Amino acid sequence: MNLPSDFSQRTHELLGDNDYRQLEDALQDEAPVSIRVNSAKCDREVKGERVPWSANGIYLAERPTFTFDPLFHAGCYYVQEASSMFVEQVLKTYVSSPVVMLDLCAAPGGKSTAARAVLPDGSLLVANEVMRNRVQILAENLIKWGNTEVVVTNNDPSDFAALPGMFDVVLTDVPCSGEGMFRKDAVAVEEWSADNVQICRQRQRRILADVWTALKPGGLLIYSTCTYNREEDEDNVAWIARELGAEVLEVPVRPEWNITGNLTEADFPVYRFLPHKTKGEGFFLAVLRKDTEGGEEERTGDYLKEHAGGRKDKKKGGREKPGYQQGHHDTEEDYTDQHQGGEYRLKRESHSSGEEHSDHSDQSRKPAVARDKVVCQNGDKPLPRGINDPAADNSAGIAAKAHAHGQGLLAAGLGPLKGVIQDEGHPGEVAEVLQQGKQGKEDGHGGQHDAHHPGQHPVDTQNQGAVEPRRGV
């Protein structure tokens, strides 16, 4: 693998000489193969090395042809990159009673199925995918997984502003430059550029500002990318905390997991997975709690007004580029594995391949500080309050039936709500949710979505000609 010279220089500055050389060597190796077992459907023991941060994650010695396995199609396991399974640790740490959760960039469903497997009974998961040609696979994978109280939506992030304070937890596995996917996707290497890193950073901030209103005060934001650079990672986390108003939270980990911490001069906790230290692909994650004080509407409104040019839908020449496409950790092969029969081949012109992973955030290029810092939990230091702690400003009741929440989404006019409503009364039943109020809502956007057509996304007019971002698994 021939790495881009700019990438090598930037990453060398971030990691230091020794770590960079080890990373460079690791990227020449084969990527590990891992699955996450669905304990609700599979009670047999699956042999293999355990993924240490996931209760049901297992490394496989080799990659089989999953589409020939009936258990795969029955939803007994999900093929997921090991690093991205770390989301499970976050939810187990901070969620102990029913919540309403949004997975904003959910396809093909790795993180959504992982979340649904550990969320307390009575929780509702809204799994959203803005790309229309990906949302069907997302719905299929959630149906196969089999948990109840799930809604699948096909909406732009800005649509969720119609639901202020709706969600206790928002997971944003945002579009990124895809550095963590290099050894699984040769095209990601070819398309990488320092300019694209900056484009992704800006896109990520627009997505976060769009959805911020929908996260209730005191709620959790889980921010993840599948990239290494600080612009899309630590710098974006610092921006969220400073500009949107949030506290960065700590997640307990064990030293033997070899998860790398903050590589900047800042000291807030973040979780970076580097292939030469942890068995998995490149991944970055941070957890933040939204401030309980007001003012978020003014802050997000100012940011969106300042950057409104990048979210218009009119094509100004060149190939149309989705404004909110994500870049995840599954390659085209992985993505095909998650579709029935393995026949759904993705076209790179339409979007990047992959899923459950995203490592892209941060905005500066200063040399790394504390390069060898490894995240570990101080046993004498209590963790920050979880969102279900009685003292955590979460007095409003959040447990409700899935169908009731689904009707609330419709009443808010949340665009093309399509796909799945599964409730306790009819497990596994799929119901079409009619597109009520869609036309009126679009008219209210003042033409922002005028150029929407079936299967298309908003166009990022500021970034015409840029390569499409990657998504994790």
Catalytic residue set: 226
Instruction: Assign 11 to helix, strand or coil.
Output: helix
**What is d(CA 178, CA 191) in angstroms, rounded to the nearest whole number?**
9
- From CA 72, how far away is CA 36, in angstroms rounded? 11
C-beta separation of 459 from 322 below 8 A = yes
Contact 77, 71 (CB under 8 A): yes
Phi and psi at residue 50, in whole multiples of 5°?
A: -80, 140
Helix locations, 395-468, DSSP H: 402-411, 438-444
Write the burial class of residue 111 (CB in 10 Å: 0-12 exposed, 13-18 middle, 19+ buried). buried
Show the tokens assigned to 175.
Answer: 């579009």
Are the beta carbons of 354 and 334 closer than 8 angstroms? Answer: yes
3-state SS, 336-370, equals: HHCCHHHCCCCCCCCCCCCCCCECCCECCCCCCCC
Burial code (b: 16+ CB inside 10 Å, e: under 16) for 316-349 equals eeeebbbbbbbbbbbbbbbbbbbbeebebebeee
Rounded distance, CA 323 to CA 6, Å? 25
Let me know: does 283 contact 83? Beta carbons within 8 Å.
yes
| Contact predicate 264/362, CB 8 Å | yes
**Beta-ladder partners of 125:** 101, 150
Query: What letter would DSSP give residue 307?
Result: T
Q: What are the two backbone dihedrals, phi and then psi, of residue 272, each rounded to the nearest 5 degrees?
A: -115, 130
Helices then strands (H, E): number in the chain? 13, 13
Q: Phi/psi zone of residue 178: left (φ > 0), alpha (ψ -120 to 50 degrees), beta?
A: left
Residue in the block written with tokens 């033997």? 256
User: How many Cβ atoms from other residues are within 10 Å of residue 424's Cβ?
Assistant: 12
* Rounded alpha-carbon distances, angstroms, from residue 228 to 94, 166, 222, 356, 399: 26, 32, 17, 16, 37
Distance CA 294, CA 221 (A): 17
Closest CA to 252 of 155, 354, 381, 135: 381
